[in-house]
């Protein structure tokens, strides 16, 4: 797995720019968290990096294009794929940045990350990216913001469209989003385009009563709500789910209380409803939409704990327990994108990058997008199937180099976990410290590639002699 291969097909209009892009990618593959001077290694290479990022001919779309194509190829090799959508804030105090709130400035990055459900939620790569520079603070209620044209909320559907163009209709995927994506307009756009989705929602919307054939907004306030319909739905599924410990999150837009680790028992119900178009929306579309609802509720919640409760709105079938479980499994894969953001911000130290303007900073983001994916993929490889033979994840030469390395000790028939821990050890990982993280795996893999390159050169010299 070489990250520079994710850039080699970039069309920047100049072969020299493409060569520079590949060189920069190689620098940061070896040291994802290094500063620009540290990664460049020389004044000339550093100057070339800065000129490349500031070049007006270089755009994030062109830089990312080969990675999107490579991701689509990986998707076509999988049976079940979800695309997780989410937005993260990048804080920078530089020229041209926007308002984030709480006195911070920077920009928003809205990502679509493909995840395989066949292989323990393995990340396949990014298939959509949109950056937004907010020129003024957000004002008004959520209803008022939804009513404005060209609003930020449209990014959810725009990125779905981008992902679908990249993937093509040959492979159907499920788009997964959190509560921030909930809007009647988003539902209508996804359904009209025949795109599959699972979205966590929180509005207890009005539904069309049975027997009503002509839907108008008048009187809808007295119609049954989603919770009314769920009240009579049978429990289709009961299971235990581990709940991880969490520190309190005090940020105003997403406050979350602290909690301890526990095992929660949840019951799942489901129903099909026709939700009514809100009175304040400006959407020219259907007066109601037919969607499926899956509700998870924790039972016997310990005293003092906030109960686990999810409401999922989806186009996926919900007639059987297996189908309901599949909807829940799709949504649970969404957390992978949060891990991806940590790979960008911690593993790649993206927010610490010292660049002068927003153009250069966003170009740098496009370079780090595949590098962060690579760090995640390497870490996952050590966890997916620890008993899988190492020959399934590494080619023969790489495995021989690991087996013959004087500081590494692999068993005669190493597993994938044995091989990945050996790679991490090359990067400085200590086995007793637990599973390897993003940085040491990336560093170790790069060193293995350097060993491989030296071995190939030596073998070529032997052949010539």
3-class secondary structure per residue, 288-330? EEEEEEEEEEEECCCCCCCCCEEEEEECCCCCCHHHHHHHHHH
Q: In sequence order, what DSSP letters do the residues of 62-119 get, joined into one string?
A: HHHHHHHHHHHHHHHT-SSEEEEEEEEEEE--SBT-EEEETTEEEEEEEEEEEEETTT
Lowest mean pLDDT of 32-46, 168-182, 349-363, 425-439, name the range: 32-46
Residue pLDDT, tens place only, 348-360: 888 887 787 888 8
Q: Are 182 and 201 in contact (CB under 8 A)?
A: yes
pLDDT bracket for residue 250 (50, 70, 90): low
Q: What is the pTM of this model?
A: 0.82
| Token couple for 160 | 């779905």
Average pLDDT score over residue span 280-285:
70
Average pLDDT score over residue span 123-145:
79
Instruction: Examine the domain organization and report whether 298 and 445 are in the same domain.
Output: no
> Per the domain annotation, does 13 fall within a domain?
no
Which phi and psi (to 5°) does residue 314 adopt? Answer: -150, 165
Instruction: Examine the domain organization and report whether 274 and 409 are in the same domain.
Output: no
- Residue % of the chain over a pLDDT of 90: 35
pLDDT at 419: 84
Reply yes or no on whether the pLDDT at 164 is more than 80: yes
For strand 196-200 and strand 98-101, is the pairing parallel, antiparallel, or unpaired? unpaired
Sign of torsion over alpha carbons 317, 318, 322, 326? positive
Distance of alpha carbon 48 from alpha carbon 26, whole angstroms: 14
Distance of alpha carbon 271 from alpha carbon 265, whole angstroms: 21
pLDDT at 103: 78
Instruction: Examine the domain organization and report whether 187 and 310 are in the same domain.
Output: yes
pLDDT at 18: 75
Q: Are 448 and 390 in contact (CB under 8 A)?
A: no
Average pLDDT score over residue span 25-50:
66
User: Which residue, of 298, 330, 352, is where some domain finishes?
Assistant: 352
pLDDT at 128: 96
* pLDDT, mean over the chain: 83
CA Rg value for the chain: 25
Instruction: Examine the domain organization and report whether 342 and 451 are in the same domain.
Output: no
Instruction: Examine the domain organization and report whether 229 and 283 are in the same domain.
Output: yes
For strand 174-177 and strand 81-91, is the pairing parallel, antiparallel, or unpaired? parallel
> Per the domain annotation, does 324 fall within a domain?
yes
Average pLDDT score over residue span 269-294:
88
DSSP 8-state symbol, 220: G
DSSP bridge pairs for 85: 112
Instruction: Examine the domain organization and report whether 327 and 390 are in the same domain.
Output: no
| Token couple for 76 | 């076509």
Instruction: Examine the domain organization and report whether 236 and 294 are in the same domain.
Output: yes
Q: What is each CA distance from 75 to 4, 124, 162, 453, in whole angstroms?
A: 19, 7, 15, 29
Lowest mean pLDDT of 26-30, 282-286, 291-295, name the range: 26-30
Distance of alpha carbon 42 from alpha carbon 36, whole angstroms: 10
Q: What is each CA distance from 432 to 75, 179, 388, 425, in whole angstroms?
A: 35, 39, 22, 11
> Per the domain annotation, does 212 fall within a domain?
yes
State the CATH number of the domain containing residue 389.
1.10.740.10
Q: Are 188 and 286 in contact (CB under 8 A)?
A: yes
Reply yes or no on whether the pLDDT at 44 is more than 80: no
> Per the domain annotation, does 24 fall within a domain?
no
Q: Are 126 and 112 in contact (CB under 8 A)?
A: yes
CA angle 384, 388, 393 (to 5 degrees): 80
Lowest mean pLDDT of 17-26, 106-115, 410-419, name the range: 17-26
pLDDT at 149: 47
- Residue % of the chain over a pLDDT of 70: 83
Which phi and psi (to 5°) does residue 12 adopt? Answer: -100, 10
Instruction: Examine the domain organization and report whether 148 and 256 are in the same domain.
Output: yes
The 10 Å Cβ neighbour count of residue 300 is 7
Distance of alpha carbon 357 from alpha carbon 350, whole angstroms: 14
pLDDT bracket for residue 343 (50, 70, 90): confident
Instruction: Examine the domain organization and report whether 421 and 340 are in the same domain.
Output: no
For residue 100, give its domain range: 86-161+173-352
DSSP 8-state symbol, 123: E
Distance of alpha carbon 102 from alpha carbon 133, whole angstroms: 16
pLDDT at 351: 87
End-to-end CA distance of the chain: 31
Instruction: Examine the domain organization and report whether 399 and 332 are in the same domain.
Output: no
> Per the domain annotation, does 27 fall within a domain?
no
CA angle 451, 434, 385 (to 5 degrees): 70
> Quick one: 42 exposed, middle or buried, by C-beta within 10 A (0-12, 13-18, 19+)?
exposed
Reply yes or no on whether the pLDDT at 136 is more than 90: no
Average pLDDT score over residue span 98-123:
88
Domain tally, the chain: 2
Average pLDDT score over residue span 238-249:
82
User: Which residue, of 302, 332, 352, is where some domain finishes?
Assistant: 352
> Quick one: 133 exposed, middle or buried, by C-beta within 10 A (0-12, 13-18, 19+)?
middle
Reply yes or no on whether the pLDDT at 23 is more than 80: no
pLDDT top residue among 127 and 95: 127
> Per the domain annotation, does 312 fall within a domain?
yes
Lowest mean pLDDT of 94-98, 162-166, 281-285, 303-307, name the range: 281-285
Reply yes or no on whether the pLDDT at 144 is more than 60: no
Average pLDDT score over residue span 214-242:
84
pLDDT bracket for residue 390 (50, 70, 90): confident
Instruction: Examine the domain organization and report whether 132 and 239 are in the same domain.
Output: yes
Distance of alpha carbon 219 from alpha carbon 125, whole angstroms: 47
> Per the domain annotation, does 259 fall within a domain?
yes
> Per the domain annotation, does 216 fall within a domain?
yes
State the CATH number of the domain containing residue 147.
3.90.350.10
Residue pLDDT, tens place only, 410-459: 888 888 888 888 888 888 888 777 777 766 776 777 678 778 878 877 77
pLDDT top residue among 355 and 174: 174
Average pLDDT score over residue span 366-377:
85
Instruction: Examine the domain organization and report whether 115 and 156 are in the same domain.
Output: yes
């Amino acid at each position: 797995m070489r990250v520079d291969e994710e850039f080699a097909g970039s069309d920047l209009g100049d072969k020299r720019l493409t060569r520079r892009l590949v060189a920069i990618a190689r620098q940061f593959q070896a040291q994802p968290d290094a500063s620009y001077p540290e990664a460049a290694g020389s004044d000339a290479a550093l100057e070339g990096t800065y000129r490349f990022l500031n070049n007006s001919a270089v755009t994030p779309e062109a830089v990312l294009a080969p990675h999107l194509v490579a991701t689509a190829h990986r998707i076509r090799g999988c049976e079940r794929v979800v695309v997780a959508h989410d937005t993260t804030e990048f804080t920078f105090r530089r020229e041209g940045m926007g308002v984030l709130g709480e006195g911070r400035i920077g920009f928003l990055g809205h990502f679509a990350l493909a995840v395989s459900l066949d292989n323990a939620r393995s990340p396949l790569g990014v298939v959509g990216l949109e950056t937004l520079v907010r020129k003024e603070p957000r004002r008004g209620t959520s209803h008022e913001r939804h009513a404005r044209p060209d609003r930020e909320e449209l990014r959810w559907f725009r990125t779905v469209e981008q992902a679908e163009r990249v993937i093509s209709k040959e492979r159907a995927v499920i788009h997964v989003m959190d509560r921030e994506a909930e809007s009647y307009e988003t539902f209508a756009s996804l359904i009209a385009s025949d795109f599959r989705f699972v979205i966590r929602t929180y509005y207890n919307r009005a539904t069309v009563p049975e027997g009503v054939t002509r839907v108008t907004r008048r009187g809808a306030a007295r119609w049954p709500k989603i919770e009314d319909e769920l009240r009579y739905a049978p429990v289709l599924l009961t299971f235990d789910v581990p709940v991880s410990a969490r520190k309190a999150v005090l940020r105003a837009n997403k406050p979350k209380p602290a909690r301890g680790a526990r095992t929660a028992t949840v019951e799942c119900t489901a129903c099909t409803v026709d939700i009514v178009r809100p009175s304040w929306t400006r959407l020219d579309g259907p007066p109601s939409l037919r969607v499926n609802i899956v509700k998870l509720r924790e039972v016997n919640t310990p005293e003092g704990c906030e109960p686990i409760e999810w409401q999922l709105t989806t186009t996926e079938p919900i007639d059987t327990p297996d189908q309901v479980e599949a909807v829940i499994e799709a949504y649970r894969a969404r957390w992978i994108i949060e891990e991806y953001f940590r790979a960008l911000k911690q593993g790649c130290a993206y927010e610490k990058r010292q660049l002068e303007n927003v153009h250069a900073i966003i170009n740098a983001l496009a370079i780090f997008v595949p590098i962060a994916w690579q760090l995640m993929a390497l870490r996952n490889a050590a966890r997916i199937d620890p008993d899988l033979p190492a020959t399934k994840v590494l080619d023969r030469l790489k495995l021989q180099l690991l087996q013959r390395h004087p500081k590494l000790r692999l068993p005669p028939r190493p597993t994938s976990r044995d091989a990945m821990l050996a790679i991490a050890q090359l990067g400085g990982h200590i086995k007793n410290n637990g599973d390897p993280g993003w940085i040491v795996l990336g560093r170790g893999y790069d060193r293995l590639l350097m060993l491989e390159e030296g071995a190939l050169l030596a073998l070529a010299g032997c052949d010539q002699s």
